[in-house]
Amino acid sequence: MRVTNGVARRRRRKRILKRVKGFYGRRKNLLRTAIQSAQRAEQFAFIGRKRRKRDLRRLWITRISAAARALGMRYATLIHGLKQAGIQLDRKQLAALAVDDPPAFQAAVEQARGALEQAASA
């Protein structure tokens, strides 16, 4: 009996070509280049998932810093003051407050300022 591996080979080929659907040129048609392109795309996707976390943190810090400077306080001083005041808001929440609810952000800044003044006078 002659075994051609027909069904399994076709299934494997279709699965790979489905992953590279929409790629440019031969990358979407030829199996060898499609395999290489799919592997490379998966590497970039993995790296991108890690990078997204860094990028979002940088964005939050930038937003907090801009809002704090508008209220006359530096970013590092604000974070230190919030820790002194015992306010446990992370950067994502602080950035959301700065953008969506400026009065609440201003209240947090005032509490941080008060905690810093208390620490300085003690």
> What pTM value is reported for the model?
0.80
pLDDT band at 2 (very low <50, low <70, confident <90, very high): confident
Structure-derived torsion over alpha carbons of residues 94, 72, 112, 55, reported in degrees to the nearest 10:
30
pLDDT band at 83 (very low <50, low <70, confident <90, very high): very high
State yes or no: pLDDT of 14 exceeds 90.
Answer: yes
Domains along the chain with CATH numbers = 6-121 (1.10.1900.20)
What token pair was written down for 98?
A: 């700065």
Please work out, in degrees rounded to the nearest 5, the angle formed at the alpha carbon of residue 107 by the alpha carbons of 102 and 111: 145
What token pair was written down for 31?
A: 């199996």
Q: How confident is the model over 87-114, as pLDDT tens digits?
A: 999 999 999 999 999 999 999 999 999 9
Q: How confident is the model over 27-80, as pLDDT tens digits?
A: 999 999 999 999 999 999 999 999 999 999 999 999 999 999 999 999 999 999
Q: What is the pLDDT of residue 122?
A: 73
